Amino acid sequence: MKRLIEKGLMFGNLVRVTSPILVERYNRALRHLTGKQTTLDDFHIDISGFSPEIGAELGDELYLNQRGVNRQFILLTTEQKTAPLLNAKFSTSRGILKQFITENEPQLFALTTKDAVAGELVNSVFSVESPAKLFDIRRITVEADTTARTVATAAELGKLIDRFKAEDNAWYDDVLIAQMIGLAKQTGDVVRNPVNLSRMSFDQQNFWTAHFGGIYIFRGVDEPAAIAAGDKAALGPLPIESTFDLRDRTEIAIFLEVNGLAEPIVKARGVDGGAILHQKMDFVVAELAARMGENLSGATRRDLRALGRRYADQLPEEYQGLAALARWVEDGGPWPRITSEHPAYFYTLRAADVPDADLVNMLLAQLSPLDIRQLFICHKEAFYAAYSSWPDEKRAYVADFLDREYQVDKAGTRAALFGHEAPMEEPQNEPKTPAADMIDLVGPWGAVRRR
């Protein structure tokens, strides 16, 4: 993993903590949440305040996420909102933390000038002993305050001020006035500078969890389902309509289609489908070349095309299917018949313009693991697990490629691959081409049929 770390592809964009004042505040918050503290005076933290260095020091990678649920967090600065979330157990956690910081940024900025803000993503489940317990997670609420309870104290002071204004004889109530003065010394003028944090809650209908080998749960769709990365039989009975695992390719294809969750890359508006297909083909060639012991360090697309010609008779079905679709898109080649059982099938899809597009792209990335760029962007946990098993030739190529072609323009790459343009009105009297009619009818693979 050293190569990834050096290129900023792992542990990248973390916030460095070196100031003795911030270290002391972090320890105060850490003791407040867990009863532990660090002896380090220089470390990095993610959006939740988790530090990989402190995790190694304590011998506990889940010191802010006991049992993998109800994630706790420590905010030293609002700059943490751009940091990644390490060791994520739920796909929604980073989005919740980022939205909480963004919504409360002025208040958090003021609070963190004097103290750390500590909190928790709270739900009614404290542990998940069985997969079925995951379905009890319905809503996440963010609870947060400084270690000195500034927000709670300000709320108490606000109530006393309201009482002071409402009671006729409040000017003569020395005890009430003394209480107000005492609390005001801790919070400042809450009338001119209110100290409060929005109490935010988030419904958890659709999400991925790392528990039990990885499970995608889709409840907020027309035909709900759970999709396991491992053996679905090991999950036991689940309180949901359908349960699949990644081997159930046709069932997953039907699930995506009936719920309108995915679309063909070649049909997506504003996307160069041919270029994306060719890039995916390059990734397949790189996989084969690495297994053949080829040196891929600094390999260009021209180099990969040459390698593709050299090993043409050994290229897998993923390549053949993508190449056939690319020929149809660019050269008017014959219509490719790519069924849901074809290894190239899920490589031809991306998430539709739906609220859970990130979750769908995450699932598609795991179903098309040779597309190393999508795997890295959409499913970091699966990417790092796969990277550790690759031959060094492939690791070198992947790290160089991501550093050279993704790191330089992350937002642009994501927009090109997964962005959705507003639909344009079709000219009323302009006939569609036979190709467009075919895509509208069956997509690039042929109609998906239920078994």
pLDDT tens track of the chain, all 451 residues?
889 998 889 988 899 999 999 999 999 999 999 999 999 999 999 999 999 999 999 999 999 999 899 899 999 999 999 999 999 999 999 999 999 999 999 888 888 888 899 999 998 788 899 999 999 999 999 999 888 777 766 665 556 656 656 777 666 666 666 765 666 666 655 444 456 787 899 999 999 999 999 999 999 999 999 999 999 999 999 999 999 999 999 999 999 999 999 999 988 776 788 899 999 999 999 999 999 999 988 888 899 999 999 999 999 999 999 999 999 988 877 888 899 999 999 999 999 999 999 999 999 999 999 999 999 999 999 999 999 999 998 999 999 999 988 888 888 888 888 887 655 444 444 444 445 555 554 455 555 555 5
Same domain, 237 and 371: no
Cβ atoms < 10 Å from Cβ of 309 = 10
Same domain, 112 and 224: no
Q: How far apart are CA 40 and CA 61, in angstroms?
A: 16
CA atoms within a 13 Å half-sphere pointing along the CA-CB vector of 21: 6
Domain presence at residue 451: no
Query: Which pLDDT score is estimated for 424?
Result: 47
Any idea which residue has 């079925």 for tokens?
Answer: 132
Query: Which pLDDT score is estimated for 190?
Result: 44
Same domain, 286 and 232: no
> Mapping DSSP to helix (H, G, I), strand (E, B) and coil, where does residue 374 land?
helix
Query: Would you say the C-alpha torsion 97, 212, 348, 257 has a positive or negative sign?
Result: negative
Contacts of 101 (CB under 8 A, 6+ apart): 47, 75, 78, 80, 81, 108
Domain presence at residue 116: yes
Same domain, 271 and 383: yes
From residue 28, how far is each of 79, 103, 129, 146, 150 by CA, in Å?
20, 25, 31, 10, 14
Same domain, 236 and 87: no
Domain presence at residue 174: no
Contacts of 368 (CB under 8 A, 6+ apart): 280, 346, 347, 374, 375
Same domain, 270 and 228: no
Same domain, 416 and 271: yes
Domain presence at residue 447: no
Q: How far apart are CA 277 and CA 284, in angstroms?
A: 11
Kindly report, residue by residue over 302-337, the tens digit of the pLDDT: 999 999 999 999 999 999 999 999 999 888 778 888
Same domain, 222 and 277: no
Domain presence at residue 23: yes
Query: Which pLDDT score is estimated for 428?
Result: 46
Q: How far apart are CA 159 and CA 168, in angstroms?
A: 16
SS3 breakdown of the chain: % helix, strand, coil, rounded to 5?
50, 10, 40
Domain with 221, as residue range(s), is: 212-245
Query: Which pLDDT score is estimated for 213?
Result: 95
> Mapping DSSP to helix (H, G, I), strand (E, B) and coil, where does residue 257 land?
helix
Count Cβ neighbours within 10 Å for each residue of 419-439 and write b for 16 or more, e otherwise: bbeeeeeeeeeeeeeeeeeeb
Query: Which pLDDT score is estimated for 303?
Result: 92
Q: Across the strands, what pairs with 16? A: 44
Query: Which pLDDT score is estimated for 177?
Result: 62
For the chain, the C-alpha Rg in angstroms (whole number) is 26
Domains identified in the chain, total number: 3
Domain presence at residue 260: yes
Query: Which pLDDT score is estimated for 431?
Result: 46
Domain presence at residue 77: yes
Query: Which pLDDT score is estimated for 77?
Result: 95
Same domain, 236 and 128: no
Same domain, 337 and 422: yes
Please state the pTM of the whole predicted model: 0.86
Domain presence at residue 166: no
Same domain, 395 and 267: yes
Kindly report, residue by residue over 164-193, the tens digit of the pLDDT: 567 776 666 666 667 656 666 666 554 444
Measured at the CA of 379, the angle between CA 372 and CA 42, to 5 degrees, comes to: 105
Q: How far apart are CA 34 and CA 50, in angstroms?
A: 12
Category of 68 on φ-ψ map: left (φ > 0), alpha (ψ -120 to 50) or beta: left
Same domain, 295 and 387: yes
Phi, psi of 341 (to 5 degrees): -85, -10
Residue 193 token pair: 């500078």
Query: Which pLDDT score is estimated for 437?
Result: 54
